[in-house]
Structure 1
């Protein structure tokens, strides 16, 4: 009974004191040196030996199990009222005070790239080009104008300022693949560049092919051995770039004319050529054989050398000797080419037989003009085509390609110099009486020289593998050029450089007009026509003077040869530019679009 009464008494005490459980003595782990000021001595709360004598009691926060707090707690009366149903008040010291929070924007756009299209942009209704702040110049080119002029005008403009493209007229394929169009463009440009076409015309042709298939925002780039083209549909799309290396070069103006006809057909808005048809025609161009066989080329080189020897005062014997020397040199060069020797050695070997025949005639004391024999053989070797193309690229702003072409010409010329100098050196040692001043005694035979110049142009056209329909035109053009040169130099008394420049300018003018009339390349009408104007005699007499230890006189003659070569190249280019200057290429307001890299 006693135990029962004790249990009842204890239960009543617990009911009367609900917080009695809180006054249980705490363990040593619950005590902290940073406990708040304690209660009375009778309390069982945690205390510290660092408590101040005057203890301040902090009322416990409601809803907590323990009154143990930190000394960094906010004193009573300074509490920041918490929001109802809020998270625990433990926050960062960098948090903004309540009431100063920045408002978040509603429906913020996600962060993206600077090249991402705007939210209002749709690919289906996108404009073909982006209008620049200054507006798009009004460039109106008639469809009757050659495609070279139309493409050059647009190439010289920035991409953003080019006029809107014409509607795509290709119906064979709804949407040709961009990589295939770029590949076709590069293959066409490779044939043009390997055939000796200028860099500006190659870029114009490449741009015409891309534009004909709807790729108007493209940038072709042409160097001496590398072709590349980049196409970017818009400012927010990734560009597509392709390139091709030109490893082999060959002179075939028949193939060059066929490529120009293909580009003209692709650029014609009234002609529909699918991508597959264009590939088929391009494959046929590559498979076509040269129009003239090998024996015809060898015979043409001999006739060219004979005609050139007559221009500088040779007779029948000189004609035959020069022809034999040139044909022998041509065969030796073909033999070296078949063995894989570089062109430098081919030119060196080809220059040896004409010089050797001339020296042999002099040693044998045959009464002929041996200098004319050597000069005629040099005419067939001088790289006039590469020289004109190199200077033309430099004048039109393609300086890298021009430097490479002129460096190639220099190597060919050095090869010719070495071959001739070796023969002349041994000829002088053998007692050959060669006269460096024989060039001053060239007889004036106008009719014979005009006929010889026309024969030279005809054979030069055969060596260039020209079409038979263009041989007559280039022959007449060369005859006119030599007539103008002879009239200005011999009766008129003008310097050879000035006379050569004027004659070459007429060659370029007439050649460009003929090319525009037939919508073809101007090279077949100009390259062979400058053959009679090439500085063969000045080159030979300069080398002869050096071989006879007259270095000063030899350098003067070689400088004259270089001046004549530059006069030919500049004259041909100037004649072509004059023909474009006076022909209509667009409206007067849009003519500023035809500017090149720099100008006024």
Structure 2
């Protein structure tokens, strides 16, 4: 009895499959190949013809991975997270709601709050956290055209930036207008001369971007206040786009409230009032006023000839300095230094300085650098004009005792006269800034209060820089209060009121020391002037921030509406 040898359980063996191989199907004779291996060579365990496999198959003993999730959009929220609690669903958005670690604050955006607060609240929020604009019921399906909304927004921002408004307030106005016309994903950007705004309809659509350049600047706070009222009507009253365009065109057509001769007279009154602050009499008042008015007319002439603003300041600074030098050469019993100091008050760019420091404190460093550079150029123009005249006077008479820096200005302590002079100075500033007539009284009183506070603090032996900062802070606080309850800009109530605090005397004596070769003393005086100017700017900004932080406006549930500060590193 013959038998076939082979490995048990292998194909080709004549024995039955037993043991662990009993489940296998016996190989039939018909399934054998013509290429049967010789005796002693076993068959492969699993023929490839009967059990085809892939070279990428997992080795035996490894568990297969879980099936991957179905591929979706890159912008879709994940369905679950490994090792974390599933995200809660949101019935309002139709998907999953994302909650940041610090939570999403509850924001009150009532129409009764000033539009500046509502816009500032959303301006620094991420796009996905901003509230959706309130939809206006329309009879037609299409809303306002996006390019026209962006154009209106840029035109409004141009007027505000050219009028001296801070970069943050300009961005807030632009954002408020665009948001009022239902543009959700909008990002305004403001620099010193360029405004741009970008709108993205959705995450998959191309953005629409428009820009506008501010080439000419003019001081007209009446127009500035009108633009603020227009923005308030757009954001609160919901006027149509055509009505907004008509209102903007009417603002541009309006003439300045004061004629050019009124501005020249106001410049003279400003310098005369400033000379009285430092102890000048009636003759000094007249001399300072005449010198300032001559300088103003020369500046208008240079402007009409197309000369840059730098040269306008050079020629405007010469007549007041010439008046003081003339009194010194004549050896008249007149405080020539008070004449020149009064003339400098009308030229110091306090408005641009405050705006530049405010932009820096609020995180707009590019705009702040450009504004401060502009202030530097204008001050250099004043320096060139005054020093050229003082140098000529020293050449004619080296012993100008009336202009000797060591004599300085005598201590003058006449509260009633100085308060009246400070209010006159603030009143003249209001006219030069082309303010509305109903704001002049408040700004004038604010300037008088600022001088009273400064005088009390300095007479109490407090450092002048600290006293200036405190007085300027109260000016900013009062101005912010008035602007919030009138839904207007704070500049008309603040800029003129800081006029009595400007460092005119410190600037003059620094220039005089430079003209006479006393570099160290001149540098000391100019550093003091810069310190006083920065104290004014920081104080004004701090007063406004205090008003926003702790004071309630109409319709606000909490003191002030939250405005996110820019994230900053701590020294690294």
Alignment match, 2:81: none
1:306-359: CA deviations, max 9, x gaps?
Answer: 000111110000000000100000000001001111000000110000001100
Distance in 1 between the 2:498 and 2:95 partners?
A: 44
Q: How does 1:356-505 map to 2 (within 5 A)?
A: 356-431=322-397, 432-433=400-401, 434-490=403-459, 492-505=460-473
1:224, 1:404 within 8 Å by CA — same for their partners in 2? yes
Task: Give the Å deviation of 1:163.
Answer: 2.5
Alignment match, 1:213: 181
Distance in 1 between the 2:559 and 2:534 partners?
A: 35
Task: Say if 1:435 and 1:166 are closer, same or farther in 2 by CA, change over 3 A.
Answer: same
Task: Give the Å deviation of 1:597.
Answer: 3.6
- Does residue 595 (structure 1) correspond to residue 565 (structure 2)? The answer is yes
Structure 2 counterpart of 1:355, from 321, 339, 342: 321
Query: Which segment drifts farther, 235-244 or 448-457?
Result: 235-244
1:458, 1:528 within 8 Å by CA — same for their partners in 2? yes
Alignment match, 2:165: 197
Task: Say if 1:116 and 1:505 are closer, same or farther in 2 by CA, change over 3 A.
Answer: closer
Alignment match, 2:535: 567
Structure 1 counterpart of 2:214, from 238, 241, 246: 246
Please list every run of 5 or more consecutive structure 1 residues that lacks an aligned counterpart in the other structure. Answer: 1-75, 79-96, 103-110, 119-124
2:345, 2:502 within 8 Å by CA — same for their partners in 1? yes
Task: Give the Å deviation of 1:132.
Answer: 3.6
Distance in 2 between the 1:404 and 1:261 partners?
A: 28
Distance in 2 between the 1:589 and 1:349 partners?
A: 49
Distance in 2 between the 1:128 and 1:529 partners?
A: 53
If the length of structure 2 is used for normalisation, what is the TM-score?
0.81
Q: How does 1:132-151 map to 2 (within 5 A)?
A: 132-134=98-100, 136-151=104-119
1:138, 1:590 within 8 Å by CA — same for their partners in 2? no
Please list every run of 5 or more consecutive structure 2 residues that lacks an aligned counterpart in the other structure. Answer: 1-32, 36-50, 57-70, 79-90
Partner of 2:489, secondary structure, is coil
2:550, 2:560 within 8 Å by CA — same for their partners in 1? no
Alignment match, 1:261: 229
Alignment match, 1:61: none
Structure 2 counterpart of 1:308, from 274, 286, 301: 274
Distance in 2 between the 1:361 and 1:520 partners?
A: 45
Structure 2 counterpart of 1:226, from 177, 189, 194: 194
Query: Which segment drifts farther, 360-369 or 434-443?
Result: 434-443
Alignment match, 1:341: 307
Distance in 2 between the 1:572 and 1:474 partners?
A: 14
Distance in 2 between the 1:428 and 1:275 partners?
A: 63
Q: How does 1:14-413 map to 2 (within 5 A)?
A: 131-134=97-100, 136-168=104-136, 174-268=142-236, 271-413=237-379
Structure 1 counterpart of 2:487, from 516, 519, 531: 519
Distance in 2 between the 1:461 and 1:538 partners?
A: 24
Task: Give the Å deviation of 1:168.
Answer: 3.4
Partner of 1:570, secondary structure, is helix
Query: Which segment drifts farther, 583-592 or 296-305?
Result: 583-592
1:173, 1:274 within 8 Å by CA — same for their partners in 2? no
Distance in 1 between the 2:562 and 2:77 partners?
A: 33
Partner of 2:292, secondary structure, is helix
Partner of 1:351, secondary structure, is helix
Structure 1 counterpart of 2:512, from 539, 544, 566: 544
**Equivalent residue pairs, number:** 494
Distance in 2 between the 1:417 and 1:130 partners?
A: 63
Task: Give the Å deviation of 1:584.
Answer: 3.5
1:131, 1:160 within 8 Å by CA — same for their partners in 2? no
1:169, 1:272 within 8 Å by CA — same for their partners in 2? no
1:384, 1:534 within 8 Å by CA — same for their partners in 2? yes
Structure 2 counterpart of 1:584, from 542, 552, 568: 552
1:138, 1:163 within 8 Å by CA — same for their partners in 2? no
Alignment match, 1:555: 523
If the length of structure 1 is used for normalisation, what is the TM-score?
0.77
Distance in 1 between the 2:452 and 2:384 partners?
A: 33
Partner of 2:119, secondary structure, is helix
Task: Give the Å deviation of 1:397.
Answer: 0.4
Alignment match, 2:86: none
2:120, 2:563 within 8 Å by CA — same for their partners in 1? no
